[in-house]
Amino acid sequence: MAYTAKDYNKLIGMEGFSETLLKNHFTLYQGYVTNTNKVLDSLSEMAKGGKIGTPEYAELKRRCGWEFNGMRLHELYFENLGGKGALNKSGKLGKKLAEEFGSYENWEADFKGVGAMRGIGWAILYQDAVSGKLINQWINEHDVGHPAGCNPLLIMDVFEHAFMTDYGLKRADYIAAFFKNIKWEAVEGRLK
Amino acid sequence: MKSFSIDRRQFLFMSGIMGITLIAGEPETSIPKTQAEEKMTYNAKDYNRLIGMEGFSETLLKNHFTLYQGYVTNTNKVLEALGQMLKEGKVATPEYAEMKRRLGWEFNGMRLHEFYFENLGGKGSVSKTGKLYQKLVESFGSYEAWEKDFKATGAMRGIGWVVLYQDILSGKFINFWINEHDGGHPSGGMPILIMDVFEHAFMIDYGLKRADYIEAFFRNINWTETEKRLLLHKG
């Protein structure tokens, strides 16, 4: 069963994101879909061919987490964009954020702080499916630091490709633009 | 295993590229040694001479220099914070451990950028009578085979660096993939040629065309510099 790249062209025209940046970003995303399929195919070929004990198998298996998350996180990211950026603070998510962080503003400051960290990766608001607790998590590259079994609610890409074309080194300006375009209904819909 | 030694000239060169600069204001020899208080900090070097290099825009280079300076600043910050924690008896804390983990990332982010900028600004053609060329032919069969392997390493999916390393014990040459700044350095290896393949190294000028950036990089290699990094083997 192969993964198929989804179409996010509807995001073109979004304020603060140039067409060039978005189109490059979609192409990168498609690369992750293609390569997730490639890696999964190769692994299953190797398994059939009795090559499970080889270094090639092991390295592809390691890479699988990187490609898969590169695909999935981009989907979650694009799908939580294209909104008007205003969270209904008396909604379920708004209340929960205020409950857990003291206020919505505290949560936002923490999430933005994670996004501003030195490094290449993602900022993700996760919901711990077991306790219900909300945590802003730093993900290194695509694969390192995901809390096991937790539910990703809001996803922000902070790879250089997500902002350099439009903002150069001004990551904070990109983060502000990201916030203006959050589709909170999608985020709220992910709550369990 | 071959034995390995370096002469005085090479030692001086190596101390130079290891790049430790004493914060001066006074000559090195007269710096008072107040043991723990002895202040050592890294200074960002100036690579503005690279501006104008074919295939690299001024915007890209200036952003790149700014990023490099960030690594210098943060290497100093992390070292200072660690030193402070040590003095205050906080070495058993999670904060100390995490800063220690981050140190390898910041330090290599600084040092690799220095090696990278310093092996740029040349005319891009390797001297076929030089030592490095001979070594590459010995290790890879031909210069072309080495170049193909180096470029393929640079084209790998991911964020990081390609480094032509010389194993200082065997003298062998290997092209290594370095993940981000810190993943995969061969212990004690001598970095000879360094190519940045973080997105910041090419996206502003080449978009997603990383191969075009790699070509531009090759046209500007300062081979004289890489030649100097070669360690000579005796015996």
User: Which residues in chain A are contacts of B63 at CB distance < 8 A?
Assistant: 164, 168-169
User: Which residues in chain B are contacts of A67 at CB distance < 8 A?
Assistant: 157
pLDDT of residue B22: 38
- Contact call for A159 and B74, based on CB within 8 A: no
- Contact call for A164 and B204, based on CB within 8 A: yes
Which range marks the domain in which residue B102 is found? 8-34+46-118
Do B190 and B223 lie in one domain? The reply is yes
Do B109 and B142 lie in one domain? The reply is no
User: Which residues in chain A are contacts of B157 at CB distance < 8 A?
Assistant: 31, 35, 67
Phi-psi map region of B126: left, alpha, beta (phi>0 left; psi -120 to 50 alpha) = beta
Is B3 a member of any domain? no
- Contact call for A161 and B199, based on CB within 8 A: yes
pLDDT of residue B19: 41
Q: Which CATH number fits domain A18-79: 1.10.1060, 1.10.3470, 2.60.40, 1.10.287?
A: 1.10.287
CA dihedral B191, B197, B200, B205 (to 10 degrees): 120
Which tens digits make up the pLDDT trace of A134-175?
999 999 999 999 999 999 999 999 999 999 999 999 999 999
ipTM, two decimals, is 0.86
Helix (H, G, I), strand (E, B) or coil at B78: helix
| Nearest beta carbon to residue A160 from set B59, B106, B200 | B200
pLDDT of residue B231: 67
Residue B164 CA neighbour count, 13 Å, CB half: 27
- Domain boundary among the residues B66, B94, B118 is at B118
Do B139 and B204 lie in one domain? The reply is yes
- Are A98 and A172 in contact by the 8 Å Cβ rule? The answer is no
- Are A86 and A184 in contact by the 8 Å Cβ rule? The answer is yes
Give Cβ neighbours of residue A115 (< 8 Å, ≥ 6 apart): A123, A156, A158, A171, A175
Is B102 a member of any domain? yes
- Tokens matching residue A8: 């996010």
Do B90 and B153 lie in one domain? The reply is no
Do B153 and B102 lie in one domain? The reply is no
Is B19 a member of any domain? yes
Do B105 and B147 lie in one domain? The reply is no
Task: Parse chain A into domains and list their residue ranges.
Answer: 18-79, 92-189
pLDDT of residue B168: 84
Residue A164 CA neighbour count, 13 Å, CB half: 22
User: Rounded to whole angstroms, how far apart are CA atoms B76 and B72?
Assistant: 6
Do B177 and B214 lie in one domain? The reply is yes
**């030692």: which residue's tokens?**
B11
pLDDT of residue B124: 75
| Nearest beta carbon to residue B66 from set A27, A165, A169 | A169
Question: A7-21, A51-65, B11-25: lowest mean pLDDT where?
Answer: B11-25
The CATH class for the domain spanning A92-189 reads alpha beta
pLDDT of residue B12: 43
Mean pLDDT across the stretch A22-36? 98
| Nearest beta carbon to residue B203 from set A118, A120, A164 | A164
User: Which residues in chain B are contacts of A120 at CB distance < 8 A?
Assistant: 159, 180, 198
List, as own/partner pairs, every contact residues B130-136 make where C-beta atoms lie below 8 angstroms and the sequence separation is at least 24, other chains included: B130/B223, B130/B227, B131/B227, B131/B230, B131/B232, B132/B192, B132/B223, B132/B226, B132/B227, B132/B230, B135/B166, B135/B171, B135/B173, B135/B230, B136/B173
Tens place of pLDDT per residue across chain B (235 aa):
344 444 444 444 444 444 444 343 334 444 454 454 446 899 999 999 999 999 999 999 999 999 999 999 999 999 999 999 999 999 999 999 999 999 999 999 999 999 999 999 998 789 999 999 999 999 999 999 999 999 999 999 999 999 999 998 888 999 999 999 999 999 989 999 999 999 999 999 999 999 999 999 999 999 999 999 986 543 2
- Domain boundary among the residues B95, B118, B141 is at B118
User: B197: nearest CA in chain A?
Assistant: A160
Is B39 a member of any domain? no
pLDDT of residue B45: 98
Q: How many CB pairs under 8 A join A and B?
A: 43
Helix (H, G, I), strand (E, B) or coil at B90: coil
| Nearest beta carbon to residue B208 from set A27, A35, A169 | A27
User: Rounded to whole angstroms, how far apart are CA atoms A93 and A189?
Assistant: 9
Mean pLDDT across the stretch A98-116? 96
- Domain boundary among the residues B72, B90, B118 is at B118
Helix (H, G, I), strand (E, B) or coil at B185: coil
User: Rounded to whole angstroms, how far apart are CA atoms B34 and B52?
Assistant: 45
